[in-house]
Amino acid sequence: MQDINYLLLFILVMAVATFITRVLPFILLYKISDHPMLIYLGRYLPPVMMVLLLIYCFKDLRFSTFDDGPAELLALLLVVALHLWRANALLSIMAGTGLYMYLSQSLVLAG
Amino acid sequence: MNKSLLLSAFKATAPVFFGYIPMGIAFGVLFNELGFHWIYATLMALVIYAGAAQFMAVGLLANHAGFTEVAITTLLLNSRHLFYGISLINKFKTRGLRKFYLIFGLTDETYSLLTGTRPTDDKDQTNFYLLITVLNHSYWVIGSTLGAIVGANISFNTSGLDFTLPALFTVLAIEQYKSVRESWPFVMAFAVAFVSIWLFSRENMLLMSILLSIIVLLLLQRTKKSPEVIHRGSL
Protein backbone atom coordinates (compact mmCIF):
# COMPACT_ATOMS: atom_id res chain seq x y z
CA MET A 1 0.00 0.00 0.00
CA GLN A 2 2.91 2.29 0.84
CA ASP A 3 4.24 1.68 -2.65
CA ILE A 4 0.94 2.52 -4.34
CA ASN A 5 0.70 5.78 -2.41
CA TYR A 6 4.23 6.65 -3.52
CA LEU A 7 3.39 5.77 -7.12
CA LEU A 8 0.20 7.85 -7.13
CA LEU A 9 1.96 10.88 -5.66
CA PHE A 10 4.81 10.37 -8.12
CA ILE A 11 2.38 10.38 -11.04
CA LEU A 12 0.68 13.52 -9.69
CA VAL A 13 3.99 15.38 -9.35
CA MET A 14 5.11 14.42 -12.84
CA ALA A 15 1.73 15.28 -14.37
CA VAL A 16 1.67 18.72 -12.75
CA ALA A 17 5.30 19.47 -13.68
CA THR A 18 4.67 18.46 -17.31
CA PHE A 19 1.51 20.55 -17.51
CA ILE A 20 3.32 23.58 -16.09
CA THR A 21 5.81 23.49 -18.97
CA ARG A 22 2.94 23.42 -21.46
CA VAL A 23 0.67 26.04 -19.92
CA LEU A 24 3.25 28.64 -18.83
CA PRO A 25 3.57 30.50 -22.16
CA PHE A 26 -0.22 30.78 -22.42
CA ILE A 27 -0.35 32.41 -18.99
CA LEU A 28 2.76 34.60 -19.26
CA LEU A 29 2.30 35.77 -22.85
CA TYR A 30 -1.47 36.11 -22.93
CA LYS A 31 -1.48 39.89 -22.49
CA ILE A 32 1.16 40.48 -25.17
CA SER A 33 -0.01 37.85 -27.66
CA ASP A 34 -0.22 40.42 -30.49
CA HIS A 35 3.28 41.77 -29.90
CA PRO A 36 5.22 41.83 -33.22
CA MET A 37 8.03 39.79 -31.66
CA LEU A 38 5.64 36.97 -30.73
CA ILE A 39 3.99 37.03 -34.16
CA TYR A 40 7.46 36.87 -35.71
CA LEU A 41 8.52 33.93 -33.49
CA GLY A 42 5.16 32.24 -34.05
CA ARG A 43 5.85 32.35 -37.79
CA TYR A 44 9.47 31.22 -37.87
CA LEU A 45 9.69 28.91 -34.85
CA PRO A 46 7.60 26.04 -36.35
CA PRO A 47 9.90 25.51 -39.40
CA VAL A 48 12.93 25.70 -37.13
CA MET A 49 11.35 23.26 -34.65
CA MET A 50 10.57 20.69 -37.37
CA VAL A 51 14.24 20.58 -38.35
CA LEU A 52 15.41 20.40 -34.72
CA LEU A 53 12.96 17.60 -33.83
CA LEU A 54 14.02 15.73 -36.96
CA ILE A 55 17.72 15.94 -36.10
CA TYR A 56 16.94 15.05 -32.48
CA CYS A 57 15.46 11.73 -33.69
CA PHE A 58 18.89 10.86 -35.09
CA LYS A 59 21.05 12.34 -32.36
CA ASP A 60 22.58 8.97 -31.51
CA LEU A 61 23.80 8.18 -35.02
CA ARG A 62 27.59 8.06 -35.17
CA PHE A 63 28.04 7.32 -38.89
CA SER A 64 31.00 5.29 -37.71
CA THR A 65 29.93 2.01 -39.31
CA PHE A 66 28.06 1.25 -42.52
CA ASP A 67 24.94 0.01 -40.73
CA ASP A 68 24.67 3.20 -38.68
CA GLY A 69 23.44 6.00 -40.92
CA PRO A 70 22.85 4.96 -44.55
CA ALA A 71 19.47 3.28 -43.91
CA GLU A 72 18.22 6.45 -42.20
CA LEU A 73 19.58 8.69 -44.95
CA LEU A 74 18.18 6.60 -47.81
CA ALA A 75 14.75 6.36 -46.20
CA LEU A 76 14.69 10.12 -45.53
CA LEU A 77 15.67 10.82 -49.14
CA LEU A 78 12.74 8.67 -50.28
CA VAL A 79 10.40 10.61 -47.98
CA VAL A 80 11.61 13.95 -49.36
CA ALA A 81 11.53 12.84 -53.01
CA LEU A 82 8.07 11.27 -52.74
CA HIS A 83 6.69 14.24 -50.88
CA LEU A 84 8.02 16.77 -53.40
CA TRP A 85 6.60 14.63 -56.18
CA ARG A 86 3.17 13.55 -54.90
CA ALA A 87 2.66 15.81 -51.84
CA ASN A 88 0.80 12.98 -50.13
CA ALA A 89 1.93 12.95 -46.49
CA LEU A 90 0.75 9.44 -45.63
CA LEU A 91 2.27 7.95 -48.77
CA SER A 92 5.65 9.60 -48.16
CA ILE A 93 5.75 8.56 -44.50
CA MET A 94 4.62 4.97 -45.03
CA ALA A 95 6.94 4.38 -48.00
CA GLY A 96 9.91 5.85 -46.11
CA THR A 97 9.15 3.78 -43.01
CA GLY A 98 8.70 0.62 -45.09
CA LEU A 99 12.06 1.15 -46.76
CA TYR A 100 13.71 1.87 -43.42
CA MET A 101 12.26 -1.25 -41.77
CA TYR A 102 13.38 -3.35 -44.72
CA LEU A 103 16.90 -1.90 -44.77
CA SER A 104 17.46 -2.04 -41.01
CA GLN A 105 15.93 -5.47 -40.41
CA SER A 106 17.46 -7.23 -43.39
CA LEU A 107 20.80 -5.49 -42.83
CA VAL A 108 21.40 -5.37 -46.59
CA LEU A 109 23.65 -2.39 -45.94
CA ALA A 110 25.70 -4.04 -43.24
CA GLY A 111 29.10 -5.44 -43.96
CA MET B 1 -19.10 16.63 -35.65
CA ASN B 2 -18.94 16.01 -39.38
CA LYS B 3 -17.47 12.86 -40.84
CA SER B 4 -15.02 14.40 -43.29
CA LEU B 5 -13.38 16.36 -40.47
CA LEU B 6 -12.95 13.17 -38.45
CA LEU B 7 -11.54 11.43 -41.51
CA SER B 8 -9.00 14.17 -42.20
CA ALA B 9 -7.99 14.13 -38.51
CA PHE B 10 -7.45 10.37 -38.75
CA LYS B 11 -5.36 10.87 -41.89
CA ALA B 12 -3.30 13.64 -40.31
CA THR B 13 -2.61 11.63 -37.14
CA ALA B 14 -1.94 8.25 -38.82
CA PRO B 15 1.86 8.70 -38.75
CA VAL B 16 1.65 9.51 -35.05
CA PHE B 17 -0.39 6.32 -34.55
CA PHE B 18 2.46 4.24 -35.96
CA GLY B 19 4.96 6.11 -33.80
CA TYR B 20 3.01 6.24 -30.53
CA ILE B 21 1.75 2.64 -30.48
CA PRO B 22 5.23 1.02 -30.55
CA MET B 23 6.71 3.75 -28.34
CA GLY B 24 3.82 3.33 -25.88
CA ILE B 25 4.28 -0.45 -25.91
CA ALA B 26 7.99 0.02 -25.21
CA PHE B 27 7.11 2.20 -22.22
CA GLY B 28 4.49 -0.31 -21.01
CA VAL B 29 6.95 -3.21 -21.24
CA LEU B 30 9.55 -1.28 -19.24
CA PHE B 31 6.96 -0.18 -16.69
CA ASN B 32 5.73 -3.76 -16.32
CA GLU B 33 9.15 -4.77 -15.00
CA LEU B 34 8.64 -2.54 -11.95
CA GLY B 35 5.96 -4.95 -10.77
CA PHE B 36 3.02 -2.54 -10.55
CA HIS B 37 -0.44 -3.31 -11.92
CA TRP B 38 -0.79 -2.37 -15.62
CA ILE B 39 -3.58 0.09 -14.83
CA TYR B 40 -0.92 2.53 -13.52
CA ALA B 41 0.77 2.57 -16.93
CA THR B 42 -2.60 3.57 -18.38
CA LEU B 43 -2.97 6.23 -15.67
CA MET B 44 0.47 7.67 -16.43
CA ALA B 45 -0.24 7.81 -20.16
CA LEU B 46 -3.57 9.49 -19.41
CA VAL B 47 -2.47 12.20 -17.00
CA ILE B 48 1.24 12.76 -17.73
CA TYR B 49 1.23 12.13 -21.49
CA ALA B 50 4.90 12.83 -22.18
CA GLY B 51 7.06 10.18 -23.81
CA ALA B 52 10.54 11.07 -22.62
CA ALA B 53 9.33 11.94 -19.10
CA GLN B 54 7.55 8.60 -18.71
CA PHE B 55 10.60 6.64 -19.80
CA MET B 56 12.61 8.61 -17.28
CA ALA B 57 9.89 7.90 -14.69
CA VAL B 58 10.61 4.17 -14.88
CA GLY B 59 14.19 4.83 -13.81
CA LEU B 60 13.15 7.27 -11.09
CA LEU B 61 10.53 4.86 -9.73
CA ALA B 62 13.03 2.03 -9.63
CA ASN B 63 15.35 4.24 -7.56
CA HIS B 64 12.53 5.48 -5.35
CA ALA B 65 13.47 9.08 -6.20
CA GLY B 66 12.32 11.98 -4.04
CA PHE B 67 9.50 14.19 -5.28
CA THR B 68 11.68 17.30 -5.54
CA GLU B 69 14.01 15.41 -7.84
CA VAL B 70 11.03 14.14 -9.84
CA ALA B 71 9.62 17.66 -10.21
CA ILE B 72 12.92 19.27 -11.21
CA THR B 73 13.98 16.62 -13.73
CA THR B 74 10.50 16.65 -15.30
CA LEU B 75 10.53 20.45 -15.60
CA LEU B 76 13.99 20.39 -17.20
CA LEU B 77 13.25 17.47 -19.51
CA ASN B 78 10.03 19.06 -20.74
CA SER B 79 11.25 22.66 -20.82
CA ARG B 80 11.13 22.69 -24.63
CA HIS B 81 7.33 22.75 -24.29
CA LEU B 82 7.71 26.32 -23.04
CA PHE B 83 8.35 27.40 -26.61
CA TYR B 84 5.46 25.56 -28.22
CA GLY B 85 2.84 27.88 -26.76
CA ILE B 86 4.51 30.87 -28.47
CA SER B 87 3.40 29.63 -31.90
CA LEU B 88 -0.07 28.61 -30.80
CA ILE B 89 -1.16 31.40 -28.47
CA ASN B 90 -3.15 33.08 -31.26
CA LYS B 91 -4.36 29.85 -32.83
CA PHE B 92 -6.30 28.39 -29.91
CA LYS B 93 -9.55 30.26 -30.41
CA THR B 94 -11.46 28.52 -27.65
CA ARG B 95 -11.78 28.81 -23.88
CA GLY B 96 -12.37 26.76 -20.76
CA LEU B 97 -12.04 23.02 -20.68
CA ARG B 98 -11.38 22.68 -24.42
CA LYS B 99 -8.46 25.10 -24.28
CA PHE B 100 -7.18 23.40 -21.13
CA TYR B 101 -7.18 20.06 -22.95
CA LEU B 102 -5.46 21.45 -26.07
CA ILE B 103 -2.67 22.83 -23.86
CA PHE B 104 -2.43 19.64 -21.80
CA GLY B 105 -2.02 17.55 -24.96
CA LEU B 106 0.78 19.61 -26.47
CA THR B 107 3.38 16.91 -27.21
CA ASP B 108 6.12 17.34 -29.86
CA GLU B 109 4.03 15.51 -32.44
CA THR B 110 0.74 17.26 -31.62
CA TYR B 111 2.50 20.63 -31.75
CA SER B 112 3.94 19.71 -35.16
CA LEU B 113 0.54 18.74 -36.53
CA LEU B 114 -1.24 21.78 -35.08
CA THR B 115 1.28 24.21 -36.59
CA GLY B 116 1.55 22.31 -39.87
CA THR B 117 -2.00 21.29 -40.79
CA ARG B 118 -5.30 23.02 -41.28
CA PRO B 119 -8.85 21.79 -41.95
CA THR B 120 -10.28 22.54 -45.39
CA ASP B 121 -12.84 24.81 -43.76
CA ASP B 122 -11.37 27.36 -41.35
CA LYS B 123 -14.42 27.53 -39.10
CA ASP B 124 -13.75 23.91 -38.08
CA GLN B 125 -10.29 24.78 -36.75
CA THR B 126 -10.96 24.25 -33.05
CA ASN B 127 -12.76 20.93 -33.60
CA PHE B 128 -9.94 19.80 -35.88
CA TYR B 129 -7.33 20.69 -33.26
CA LEU B 130 -9.33 18.87 -30.57
CA LEU B 131 -9.70 15.76 -32.72
CA ILE B 132 -5.96 15.65 -33.46
CA THR B 133 -5.16 16.03 -29.75
CA VAL B 134 -7.69 13.38 -28.64
CA LEU B 135 -6.54 10.89 -31.29
CA ASN B 136 -2.83 11.28 -30.50
CA HIS B 137 -3.55 11.01 -26.78
CA SER B 138 -5.59 7.83 -27.25
CA TYR B 139 -2.84 6.20 -29.39
CA TRP B 140 -0.40 6.82 -26.55
CA VAL B 141 -2.79 5.46 -23.89
CA ILE B 142 -3.58 2.36 -25.97
CA GLY B 143 0.11 1.66 -26.68
CA SER B 144 1.18 2.09 -23.06
CA THR B 145 -1.65 -0.11 -21.79
CA LEU B 146 -0.94 -2.85 -24.35
CA GLY B 147 2.74 -2.86 -23.47
CA ALA B 148 2.09 -3.11 -19.73
CA ILE B 149 -0.49 -5.90 -20.12
CA VAL B 150 1.40 -8.04 -22.57
CA GLY B 151 4.70 -7.18 -20.92
CA ALA B 152 7.60 -9.41 -21.74
CA ASN B 153 5.48 -11.87 -23.73
CA ILE B 154 5.53 -9.59 -26.73
CA SER B 155 7.67 -10.81 -29.60
CA PHE B 156 6.77 -9.27 -32.96
CA ASN B 157 9.47 -7.42 -34.80
CA THR B 158 8.42 -3.77 -34.89
CA SER B 159 12.01 -2.59 -35.09
CA GLY B 160 12.12 0.44 -37.34
CA LEU B 161 8.40 1.22 -37.19
CA ASP B 162 9.08 4.32 -35.14
CA PHE B 163 10.73 5.79 -38.23
CA THR B 164 7.25 7.25 -38.86
CA LEU B 165 8.10 10.06 -36.42
CA PRO B 166 11.22 11.43 -38.19
CA ALA B 167 9.37 10.87 -41.49
CA LEU B 168 6.48 12.94 -40.13
CA PHE B 169 8.82 15.76 -39.08
CA THR B 170 10.41 15.68 -42.56
CA VAL B 171 7.04 15.94 -44.31
CA LEU B 172 5.94 18.72 -41.97
CA ALA B 173 9.21 20.58 -42.58
CA ILE B 174 8.48 20.49 -46.32
CA GLU B 175 4.93 21.71 -45.65
CA GLN B 176 6.34 24.51 -43.49
CA TYR B 177 8.61 25.49 -46.37
CA LYS B 178 5.63 25.65 -48.72
CA SER B 179 3.89 28.12 -46.44
CA VAL B 180 6.87 30.18 -45.27
CA ARG B 181 8.60 30.26 -48.70
CA GLU B 182 11.93 31.20 -47.19
CA SER B 183 14.84 28.83 -46.78
CA TRP B 184 16.95 30.63 -44.17
CA PRO B 185 15.02 29.28 -41.12
CA PHE B 186 15.82 25.73 -42.26
CA VAL B 187 19.48 26.42 -42.96
CA MET B 188 19.77 28.21 -39.62
CA ALA B 189 18.12 25.31 -37.76
CA PHE B 190 20.50 22.76 -39.30
CA ALA B 191 23.51 24.90 -38.43
CA VAL B 192 22.32 25.51 -34.88
CA ALA B 193 21.56 21.79 -34.34
CA PHE B 194 25.04 20.72 -35.38
CA VAL B 195 26.69 23.46 -33.37
CA SER B 196 24.73 22.35 -30.28
CA ILE B 197 25.64 18.69 -30.74
CA TRP B 198 29.24 19.78 -31.00
CA LEU B 199 29.15 22.24 -28.09
CA PHE B 200 26.83 20.39 -25.71
CA SER B 201 25.95 16.74 -25.16
CA ARG B 202 23.69 14.86 -27.56
CA GLU B 203 21.14 14.47 -24.76
CA ASN B 204 20.87 18.22 -24.25
CA MET B 205 20.99 19.21 -27.91
CA LEU B 206 17.24 19.75 -28.32
CA LEU B 207 16.75 22.29 -25.55
CA MET B 208 20.06 24.02 -26.26
CA SER B 209 19.36 24.32 -29.97
CA ILE B 210 15.87 25.71 -29.31
CA LEU B 211 17.38 28.38 -27.05
CA LEU B 212 20.13 29.18 -29.58
CA SER B 213 17.61 29.34 -32.42
CA ILE B 214 15.43 31.82 -30.56
CA ILE B 215 18.46 34.02 -29.91
CA VAL B 216 19.43 33.90 -33.60
CA LEU B 217 15.82 34.54 -34.69
CA LEU B 218 15.58 37.58 -32.44
CA LEU B 219 18.93 38.94 -33.67
CA LEU B 220 17.77 38.47 -37.27
CA GLN B 221 14.43 40.16 -36.59
CA ARG B 222 16.14 43.54 -36.34
CA THR B 223 17.35 43.19 -39.91
CA LYS B 224 13.98 42.16 -41.30
CA LYS B 225 10.73 43.95 -42.01
CA SER B 226 7.65 42.96 -40.02
CA PRO B 227 6.23 39.70 -41.37
CA GLU B 228 3.17 39.67 -43.62
CA VAL B 229 0.00 37.83 -42.74
CA ILE B 230 0.73 34.28 -41.71
CA HIS B 231 -0.30 31.86 -44.39
CA ARG B 232 -0.15 28.13 -43.96
CA GLY B 233 -0.74 25.25 -46.30
CA SER B 234 -2.66 22.16 -45.33
CA LEU B 235 -1.17 18.71 -45.00
ipTM of the complex: 0.87
Q: What sign has the CA pseudo-torsion B25, B135, B235, B207?
A: negative
Tell whether the model's pLDDT for residue A106 goes beyond 50.
yes
Contacts of B116 in chain A (CB under 8 A): 46, 50
Give start and end residues of each alpha helix (H) in chain A.
2-28, 36-57, 70-86, 89-106
Tell whether the model's pLDDT for residue A111 goes beyond 80.
no
Tell whether the model's pLDDT for residue B209 goes beyond 50.
yes
Tell whether the model's pLDDT for residue A15 goes beyond 60.
yes
Q: Which of B73-77, B101-105, B157-161 has the lowest mean pLDDT?
A: B157-161
Q: Which of A79-83, A95-99, B109-113, B152-156 has the lowest mean pLDDT?
A: B152-156
What does each C-alpha distance from B25 to B95, B106, B150, B155 come to in angstroms? Answer: 33, 20, 9, 12
**pLDDT value at residue B93:** 83
Of all residues in chain A, the one with the smallest CA distance to B220 is A40
Domain ranges of chain B: 3-180, 182-235
Of all residues in chain B, the one with the smallest CA distance to A100 is B160
Selected residues 75-114 of chain B with any CB under 8 Å from a CB in chain A: 75, 78-90, 92, 103-104, 106, 108, 111-112
Q: How many CB atoms within 10 Å of residue B37?
A: 12
Give the gap in angstroms from C-alpha A6 to the nearest C-alpha of chain B: 9
A93: confidence class by pLDDT, cuts 50, 70, 90:
confident
Burial class (CB in 10 A: 0-12, 13-18, 19+), B81: buried
Tell whether the model's pLDDT for residue B230 goes beyond 60.
no
**pLDDT value at residue B186:** 96
Q: How many CB atoms within 10 Å of residue B204?
A: 14
**CB-CB under 8 Å, A43 with B180:** yes
**Mean predicted confidence (pLDDT) in A7-23:** 97
B20: confidence class by pLDDT, cuts 50, 70, 90:
very high
Tell whether the model's pLDDT for residue A66 goes beyond 90.
no
Of all residues in chain A, the one with the smallest CA distance to B68 is A13
Q: How many angstroms separate the CA atoms of B177 and B175, rounded? A: 5
Provide the number of CB pairs (under 8 Å) joining chain A to chain B.
253
Q: Which of A73-82, B36-45, B182-191, B206-215 has the lowest mean pLDDT?
A: B206-215
Which of A45, A49, A54 is closest, CB to CB, to B166? A54
Give how far the C-alpha of residue B234 lies from the chain's centroid of Cα atoms, to the nearest Å. 19
**pLDDT value at residue A65:** 60
Give the gap in angstroms from C-alpha B207 to the nearest C-alpha of chain A: 9
Q: Work out the mean pLDDT of chain A and round it to a whole number.
A: 87
